[in-house]
Structure 1
Amino acid sequence: MFRKITLKNIENLLAFLTLFTDTEAQLYNIETEPLTLDPYCYSKEFNKFITSVYQENFVIDFDWPAWQNEAEHLVKNPELLIVADILTLQKLLTTHIRKERFCSGHLAAMIKNGHFLAIFHRLQAIHAALMLEKSDNHGKRNMMKQMSVFQGDITQLPVDAIVNAAKNSLLGGGGVDGAIHRAAGPELLAECRQLHGCATGEAKITKGYKLKAKWVIHTVGPVWHGGNQGEDEMLARCYRNSLTLAEQYQIKTIAFPAISTGVYGFPLERASKIAIAEVNKFLNNHQSIEQVIFVCFSQSAYDCYITGVQEVAES
């Protein structure tokens, strides 16, 4: 049976986010009593979280056995949670708590593999959207739906196009570039050879091959030299040119990595502000693209982007 979730319910559950982001958060208490059959029990803080899942209406009655395959699918593919609704999150949390009763340590496994963090990230996005819906500004509400942030593997996202932070040669490399080439297969490299490279700030497009995305848009970000050599404008052009190319190919959903913030050394906060500003400007002036996803590798990058997106949506 569906139980209504309010903003307060979500806020109360989000209060436990640090349990999944703080590396020093304590999951277990270790009992010293030698006769204890199960020496590892959950900490007081984590038990409070489990209690809160019940109290905030996230445990519901439904056909649990019939939904097990769907739950496993979402665990193996956390990127799908980016579009999950509240009912799906209720079912997932209910499933995990019920499985814990039959398999001690299940919740710990879901924390270790990052699944609970993915659930919390989706709750954060839903909370932000609901907060904006409380205002009567339809433009803000629409903008929040069009820009979202995801922490995970960009190669696994089921979008029309993913953007590759490429080298000038377009022949692959490390980081996101290497991951995309490995996931797409050798056909991607073969097509890239026909493009004869790409200038910094420009963008070129190829097929996605073995990726879930139909297209890969390759753009070359600037190397950071202190900020006085036009790095900001070159990075902005990466986003503008990628979005323009997406529009030309009738791409509706597109995912960007944090371009230039890896080995190229562009400061993360500065880069995120440029990325969000350029995407926001494009979405305000074009109707073709329905959703832009900023994909982050680290928790610090995710926090930076989610804050930036919310600031733009509320401005």
Structure 2
Amino acid sequence: MSSQITWENIEALLAFSTLFLHKNVKLYDIQTEPLTLDPYSYSKEFNKFIASLYEQNFIISFAWTSWQDEAQGFITNPELLTLADISTLQKLFTTHVRQELFCSGHLAAMIINCHFLAIFNRLRAIYTDFDKNDEPKMNKQTSVIQGDITQLQIDAIVNAANEELMPGGGVCGAIHRAAGPSLWEECRQLKGCKTGEAKITKGYNLPAQWVIHTVGPVWEGGSYGEDELLASCYRRSLALAEKHQIKAIAFPAISTGVFGFPVERATKIAVAEVNKFLHSHNSVEQVIFVCFGQNTYDYYLKLMPEITES
């Protein structure tokens, strides 16, 4: 650990990681008229991220101009980041922020090529590996966001599917539309999926490499095994993620739409199952709960700390 960086610094910076998960989030604009030497402007959220780099000691004093070749090496070969320590991440952040001062649009390029996302993935891995016995992994490895799951640049997203694995409405329909017809062609070959089980396909036109399809239960009052079936959806999906060496996975609020599962009850099950998995497995490094509606998002924000601390 760098002498200038604390675990609180890392935790504060990780709060900005979700900025780089959305493929179509507008983090910058380009001014074409009139001509200017500094045509790039950045969003309020992105500027808060840059300010946080300074506040959390990730911008350091060093000879960054002579380190640009090393920084480029991490862009050319992203696998090098898996060995990077905190000091190296400080140098990377510093070099890219400084380069923007001399080359307008450099930071925009780091957004487009997902380099910032890759740095955050390494930073999260370092944070997750620290002191596992003293703090619940749930606090470090999970987050909740409100947005469009089809836009996440992540290893895998989970589809709240139907038993036929056909394109449907809601999240399922959105995923199929974004992935393109090849997703349905592969789904057809899987011969369906039973409630509570999960199957995996490629992501095709999605930013995500994989889609894990799981079929949640239709709510029938709670006396027909709905809780266990929903819990099984999360367990089976995470087991597939582990089997396919998926490090980061995003879940929608399974069964809470047209299937009618009570949102608060479903949220408790989702968070509890993910919590149990993360405490007993080291394979998955990041889980994101993606909520479409404000009501569901509020439940996750409320329940995640309660279940984590219990």
1:157 aligned to 2:154? yes
The corresponding residue for 2:288 is 295
Query: Does the Cα contact within 8 Å between 1:239 and 1:275 map onto a contact in 2?
Result: yes
Match for 1:148 among 142, 146, 170?
Answer: 142
Deviates more, 1:221-230 or 1:264-273: 221-230
Query: Do the aligned partners of 1:199 and 1:220 also contact (CA within 8 Å) in 2?
Result: yes
Match of 1:236 in 2: 231
Q: Deviations over 1:56-105 (max 9, x none)?
A: 4211335134424645998xxxxxx9998644653453244213312457
Equivalent in the alignment of 1:208: 202
Mapped contact 2:216–2:233 kept (Cα < 8 A): yes
Stretches of structure 2 that go unaligned for 5 or more consecutive residues are: 21-27, 29-36
Q: Is the 8 A contact 1:71 1:92 kept in 2?
A: no
> Is the partner of 2:275 in helix, strand or coil?
helix
Q: What is the CA–CA distance in structure 2 between the aligned matches of 1:193 and 1:42, rounded to whole Å?
A: 43
How far the C-alpha of 1:196 sits from its partner, in A, is 3.9
Give the secondary structure class of the aligned counterpart of 1:219: strand
Q: State yes or no: 1:94 paired with 2:90.
A: no
Do structure 1's residue 57 and structure 2's residue 57 form an aligned pair? yes
Contact 1:110 1:116 in 2 (8 A): yes
2-structure distance, mates of 1:84, 1:303? 36
Q: 1:16 to 1:290 in 2, by over 3 A?
A: closer
Aligned Cα RMSD in Å?
5.8
> Which position in structure 2 is the counterpart of 1:275?
270
How far does residue 276 in structure 1 lie from its aligned partner after superposition?
2.0
Q: Post-superposition shift, 1:303?
A: 8.2
- Aligned in 2, Cα 1:110/1:261: closer, same or farther, shift over 3 Å? farther
Q: d(CA) in 1 for partners of 2:298 and 2:129? A: 16
**CA distance in 2 between partners of 1:209 and 1:48 (Å):** 32
| TM-score, scaled relative to structure 2 | 0.57
Contact 2:144-2:300 within 8 A present in 1 as well: no
Tell me, yes or no, if the aligned pair for 1:168 and 1:198 is still in contact at 8 Å: yes
Q: Secondary structure at the match of 2:158?
A: strand
Give the AA of the match of 1:157. I
Cα gap change, 1:306/1:100 in structure 2, threshold over 3 Å: closer, same or farther? farther
Q: For structure 1, which runs of at least 5 residues remain unmatched after alignment? A: 21-26, 28-36, 75-80
**C-alpha deviation, 1:5, in angstroms:** 0.7
2:164 to 169, 177, 184: 169
